[in-house]
Amino acid sequence: MIVRMKELWLFTPASSVDETITKLGELGVVEIREVVSPAGADLEHRDREIERTQKAINLLASAQDGNGNNDVLVTDILYTENDPKRLTNRILTTVEINTNGRRRLKDLQSQLKWYEVWGKDTNPADIEYLEGQGIYIRLYEATPDQVDGLVKNHCVEVFPEREQAIPLALISDEKDEQLDLKQVYSPTLPLSELRRQLERKERQMAKVNRYLEDQSQNLGLLRDYLKYLQDHRNIVWAVEGMGDIEGKLKYLHGYLPADQMDLLSSVAKDNSWGYRISEPKNPKEVPVYLRNPRWIKIINPVLRFIDIVPGYREVDVSIYFLIAFALFFAMLVGDAGYGLLLLLLTIFFRKKIPSQMRWLSYVLSGATIAWGVLSGTYFGSEEIASLPWLNNLIIAEVSSFGVENIDFMMHLSFLIGAVHLTTAHLIRVVQFANSIKALSEIGWIAIMWGLFLLAEQLVLGEAMPAWSHWLFISGALLVTLFSQESSSLLKSIVVSVSNLPLSLINGFSDIVSYVRLFAVGLATATVAASFNQMILASGISNMGVLQIIGSAIALFLGHSLNIALALMAVMVHGLRLNMLEFAGHLGVQFSGEAYKPFKLMGYKSTTKGKKGRRILNSQ
C-alpha cells in the first residue's frame, strides 16, 4: 500500500536550528528536501572523515577475514585503542606503513636474489674497487644461443643457467665496452647488511599485521563511530540546505506520512516551531512510502535489486509481483531437485541471509519443488520421475517429458498471460471506480480474452467460439467511448480510435509472450536431461571409482551451469513479464522515488561492546 503523504514547511529560529534538526532526526518521520544547495568546508570535512572511517572499517574487516575469525576472540591483545578518531588515524597510518614496507621487502628480496645468482661471497664494493683500478666488470643475462659468439669476441665469465637465462660477467679494461644484452645491476648493500635489514623489516611487518588483527576487535566501535559521523554530517547537510530569512529565521521543506501529522504537530508545539502541513502540490515530487504486511515485504529484495518504485499516484504492485514472480520462477526453473537444493542452501545459510531474502527463498524454492513434482522433473532424470511414489504425483498435461502435451502447455501459458493482464485491468477498474475510464478498462478486459482466443486459434489451431467477435466489438466500443476524459466527445473518440489498432497489436504480442514460461522451462529440463545422457550414457554399473568421481564432478558442473542459466532466465523473463507486460497494462511507470526520512541512527547514543567501550562525543 502506498501511504498518503503530506507536504511540510517548518520554521525555526536561527539560534536553535541545530537543536531543531537534531529533534527532527530523532523523530525520523520527515524526508527533508533542499531549499538551497548545501555546501561549505564543514560539509566537505565531515565527508572526508566519513570516507576515512569507512576505509579503516574495510581494512579491519579484511584483517579479520584474513585471520579466519569473524567474532574476534583475541586473548593476548598487545595494542589497545578506545578513541575511534585516533584509532582511524592509526589504522590508516599503519596501512600506509604496511604498503611501503611491502614495497621495501620486495626490493630487499630482489637484492637477496642477486647474491643467489652471482655468489654469496660476492661483494659489490669489490666491483667498485676494481673499477677504480681500471678493471670494469658488467653483469648480464643472455640466452644460450647468444653466449657462443660472446665467448669468442669478449672476455666473459659464464655462470650456470638459472630460470632459462644464463648469467655472465663482462671483464674489460675499457670503460665504454658493453654488450647488447639485459644488464644486471649490483645491489647497494652487502649480503650481511641486506639480511639484517630484511629480518628487521619482516619483524616490523609482523607488528603491523598484529596491530590490525588486534584492532579488528574494535570493528563494532568504528561502525558505531561511523554512524555518529554520518549523523553529524547529515545535520550539517540539513542545516546548510535550509532557507534563511534575514539571518533570524530558518525554514525547511519536506514530506511526511499523513498518519504522522499529529506526532509532528505535538513536537512542533513543544519546541515552538512554526509549520504548515498541506496536501502535496506536485505528486511527481512526493516520495513513495510503501507499507505492507511482513509476508508481502519479502518481495522487497527483488524490487530493490531492480531499483523500481511506483509513482505516488500509481499502484503498489508488491503483492501482485510476489504472486506472479513465485509462479514464473517455479515454471522457468521447473525442477524439484533444483528447488530442493535451493531450499537446503537457504536453510544451511539462514543465519547469514537477511530475513526478507530468506523467506522469499523459502517461497521460491517451495513453489519450484511443487511445480517440479507435478511435472515430474528431478535433476532432468526420467528414472527418478518414474519411481512409483513420485510417478503418481505427475500431472500428465504438464509433464516435462511428455511428448503430447506441448499444445496444453502453450495453452496454459496463454491462459496465465490472459489472467495476469486481466488482473491489471481489474485493478484499474477499482482505481477509476468514480470515473468513466472504469468502463474502458472493462472493455480492455473483454478485448484481452478475445485476443487470448485469437492466439489459441493462430498458434494452436483452436477454433474461436461463434460469440468471440462480440468480445472485440463490445470491448472496442467501451474503449473508444470512455478511455479519454474530455469535454469534447468527438475529440476523445478520435484519439481513442487512433490509438486502438496499435494497442490491439501490443495486447496480442503481450499474451503470446507468456509462452516463454513453457519454452524456457522446457529448455531447462532438456539441458539437464542432456547432461545426464552425455555423462551417464552407459550407467554407473561398469564404472570404476575414479570414473564415478569424475562423473559426479561433471554432473555437478553441468547442473550448476544449468541452474545459473535458469536463474538468468528468471531475471530476464520473470521480471520482464511483471515489469513490462503486467505493469504496462496496469499503467505503472515506476516513476517514483522511495521515501527516505531524515533519521539520526547513532547520534547521542553510547554503544557498549564486550569491554564496555563508548563512542566519544567529540571529533
- The average confidence (pLDDT) of the chain is 86
194-198, 323-327, 571-575: segment of lowest average pLDDT: 194-198
**Over 70: is that where the pLDDT of 486 sits?**
no
- For residue 78, the model assigns a pLDDT of 53
Q: How confident is the model at residue 72 (pLDDT cuts 50, 70, 90)?
A: very low
- Higher per-residue pLDDT: 340 or 386: 340
φ/ψ of residue 290, rounded to 5: -95, 120
Three-class SS string for 174-189? CCCCCCCCEEECCCCC
Mean pLDDT confidence for 357-384: 94
Q: Is the pLDDT of residue 563 over 50?
A: yes
* Residue listed under C-alpha cell 657462443: 148
pLDDT at 277 over 90: yes
Better-predicted residue by pLDDT, 211 or 387: 387
Question: What pLDDT, on a 0 to 100 scale, did the predictor assign at position 269?
Answer: 93
Measured distance CA(171)–CA(482) in Å, rounded = 101
Q: Are 24 and 253 in contact (CB under 8 A)?
A: no
Q: What is the mean pLDDT of residues 315-322?
A: 94
Least confident of 119-128, 251-260, 472-481, 561-570: 119-128
Element (DSSP H or E) covering residue 249? strand 249-257
Identify each DSSP E strand in 93-211 by its residue range: 136-142, 156-158, 166-172, 182-184
Percent with pLDDT over 90 in the chain: 52
pLDDT tops 80 at residue 561: yes
Q: Describe the crossing of helices 406-431 and 318-333 by its angle, rounded to 10 degrees.
A: 170
User: Between residues 142 and 27, which one has the greater pLDDT?
Assistant: 27
This prediction's pTM: 0.76
Q: What average pLDDT does the segment 602-618 reach?
A: 42
- pLDDT for res 565: 93
Mean pLDDT of 305-312: 91
- CA torsion angle 483 486 488 493 (round to 10): -10
Orientation of helix 516-535 relative to helix 406-431, angle to 10°: 140
Helices (H), 432-467: 437-460
Residue 184 phi, psi dihedral angles, 5° rounding? -115, 130
- Give the pLDDT confidence of 344-365 residue by residue, as tens digits: 999 999 999 999 999 999 999 9
Residues 439-468, mean pLDDT to the nearest whole number: 93
Separation of alpha carbons 201 and 99, rounded Å: 12
Three-state secondary structure readout of 481-546: HHCCCCCCHHHHHHHHHHHHHHHHHHHHHHHHHCCHHHHHHHHHHHHHHHHHHHHCCCCCCCCCHH
Beta strand extents in 73-208 (DSSP E only): 136-142, 156-158, 166-172, 182-184
Q: How far apart are CA 330 and CA 125, in angstroms?
A: 76
Look at phi and psi of residue 298 and say left if phi exceeds 0, alpha if psi is from -120 to 50, else beta.
alpha
The residue-averaged pLDDT of 583-592 equals: 91
Nearest to 310 by CA among 7, 579, 112, 79: 579
Sign of CA dihedral 335, 341, 344, 350: negative
Amino acid 67: pLDDT: 57
Residues whose CB falls within 8 Å of the CB of residue 45, separated by 6 or more in sequence, listed in order: none
Angstrom distance (rounded) from CA 542 to CA 546: 12
3-state SS, residue 116: helix
Rounded CA separation 66/60 (Å): 10
Element (H, E) at 10: strand 5-13
Mean pLDDT of the 483-510 span: 79
The DSSP string of 332-349 is HH--HHHHHHHHHHHHHT
Confidence of residue 527 (pLDDT cuts 50, 70, 90): very high
Q: Are 287 and 256 in contact (CB under 8 A)?
A: no
Query: Residue 606: what pLDDT?
Result: 38
Q: Residue 80: pLDDT band by 50, 70, 90 thresholds?
A: low
- Greater pLDDT, 124 or 440: 440
At residue 520 the predicted structure's pLDDT band, cuts being 50, 70 and 90, is very high
Give whole-number Cα distances, 315 to 302, 321, 425, 540, 564, in Å.
17, 12, 12, 56, 32
Cβ contact 72:64 at 8 Å: yes
Average pLDDT over residues 107-112: 82
Residue 249's pLDDT band (cuts 50, 70, 90): very high
Total residues belonging to the chain: 619
* pLDDT tier, 66 (very low <50, low <70, confident <90, very high otherwise): low
Number of helices (H), then strands (E), belonging to the chain: the values are: 23, 9
Pick from 83-97, 256-270, 438-452: least confident? 83-97
pLDDT of 316 above 80? yes
Integer Cα distance of 314 and 288 in angstroms:
10
Does residue 475 have a pLDDT over 90? yes
What is the Cα–Cα distance from 367 to 371, expressed in whole angstroms?
A: 6
d(CA 527, CA 506): 32
Residue 74 pLDDT grade (very low, low, confident, very high; cuts 50, 70, 90): very low
For residue 431, give the amino acid letter: Q
Quick check: 17 pLDDT over 60?
Answer: yes
**CA nearest neighbour of 10 among 228, 278, 226:** 278
